Structure 1
Amino acid sequence: MSWKLIALCIAVSGLALPASAQRYLDSHPRYEEGRRTAPDGTLYLGGYSRDTDGGQVVVDVYTRQDRALTHDGIRFGAIPYARRSLDTGQGEPRVIGWADGRTCGQLQGVLLEYTRLAPPTFQTPSLYNAPANGSRPMDGPAPRVHPVDSSVWGYARQADGGQAILTITGSDGVIDRWTAYAEEQLSSCWADSSPAF
């Protein structure tokens, strides 16, 4: 191998993402994929996935500001859109439908329920002699942990108002019920063609 090829390999490897950025992408791949593939002029909110017999259904939700939707001439209303894809694990997910908030009122309802999803709390096994001296407890019930079936992700606010990107996965409980609700509500909204953004 020539020294030029070695130098080129070293230079290319130096272009890799910093470790912290790679860890973020590893933790939130669906969020970043939805954001990366957002139609021009839209804001990516988040989405959900649900396992099916044919693969994993992935729904990404976007909004676009509409100057016609304003009450004070300053703040503009937002129109939601959703893209439905099928991920079979064999290459890029295939887009199988679009929902337009201008003609699908159910999308507004699904998003309202999306904002009401409360994040689960983390669970640990019973700890001997807990809490340790010098620590103080924080309130919250212990959730159950289950295998992967449904996921919800998106931009979120922490309890103290801090910003976060949140991904929640579970096979029962509120996460699974919400994705089933979203699928049922949006079932009549899917169209083959992309809305005019």
Structure 2
Amino acid sequence: MPSKLTNLLVAIALIWPGPAMAQRHADVHPRYDHGYGTAPRGALYLGGYSRDSEDGQIIVDFYSRQDRSLTNDGIRFGAIPFARRSLDTGAGVPAVLAWADGRTCGSLNGVLMEYSRLVAPAFQVPFLYQAPPAGSQALGGPPTRMHPIDSSVWGLARQPDGAPSVLTFTGSDGLIDRWTTFAEAQLDKCWGAQEPPAA
């Protein structure tokens, strides 16, 4: 019987954008574009994250492949997640370091479940006036703190009205940093040299 993760991955497959949508986001979301454009054959790109390291930027991309054995009606099929770990030293195309297979790494399923629960940060606008001008609302909040960038998360998302979009958010502390730290720890023992084979 399909799990909640399987149902989530099948739902993503049904709403997945074509190459044209990915290309439109290339300038704004280069990590998304790279992960999508370098997806292994037959794989669905889900998104990914990056973290700064002493050697460069660690990049983890999430994918899934349809598994025709995961079905309860012979029509809708489940998916097996897998991940690719790369290192970007700024000297060219990121070098692939390792792979994780959802069939042998249960932690990957947990990381993806938490990934699907991430909430995008709210935009903050400093107070522009002492009092809002007539007929206008003042958007505001606490002053934005400037930190070095060390963590990013990106992938396909849904807007509040249900429309699909590509989302990237970056930060050096708070939820983004906590989640990428969690993902790194959970996947630490999952990495291997071989790309997971197609089901």
TM-score, normalised via structure 1 length: 0.82
Structure 1, unaligned runs of 5 or more: 1-20
1:82 aligned partner, one-letter code: A
1:43 aligned partner, one-letter code: L
1:127 counterpart residue number:
128
1:49 counterpart residue number:
50
Superposition map of 1:136-155 within 5 A: 144-145=144-145, 146-155=147-156
1:26 is paired with a residue whose SS is coil
Deviations 1:76-131 (A, max 9, x none): 11100100001111111111100000101100100000011000011111121554
Give percent identity, aligned residues only.
64
Structure 2, unaligned runs of 5 or more: 1-21
Instruction: Provide the rounded CA distance (Å) in 2 between the counterparts of 1:72 and 1:130.
Output: 60
Deviations 1:15-64 (A, max 9, x none): xxxxxx98732210000000010011110010000000011000000011
2:183 counterpart residue number:
182
Root-mean-square deviation over aligned CA pairs: 2.1
2:163 aligned partner, one-letter code: G
Q: CA deviation at 1:157?
A: 0.4
1:109 counterpart residue number:
110
2:162 is paired with a residue whose SS is coil
Question: Higher Cα Rg: structure 1 or 2?
Answer: 1
1:172 counterpart residue number:
173
Instruction: Provide the rounded CA distance (Å) in 1 between the counterparts of 2:120 and 2:160.
Output: 10
Instruction: Provide the rounded CA distance (Å) in 1 between the counterparts of 2:176 and 2:144.
Output: 12
1:14 counterpart residue number:
none
Instruction: Provide the rounded CA distance (Å) in 2 between the counterparts of 1:71 and 1:184.
Output: 34
2:75 is paired with a residue whose SS is coil
2:69 is paired with a residue whose SS is coil
Q: CA deviation at 1:178?
A: 0.4
1:89 aligned partner, one-letter code: G
Q: CA deviation at 1:134?
A: 3.4
Instruction: Provide the rounded CA distance (Å) in 2 between the counterparts of 1:130 and 1:149.
Output: 36
Between the two proteins, the alignment pairs up a number of residues equal to 176
Instruction: Provide the rounded CA distance (Å) in 2 between the counterparts of 1:143 and 1:64.
Output: 43
Instruction: Summarize the Cα distance change of 1:137–1:102 in structure 2 as closer, same or farther, 3 Å threshold.
Output: farther
1:191 counterpart residue number:
192
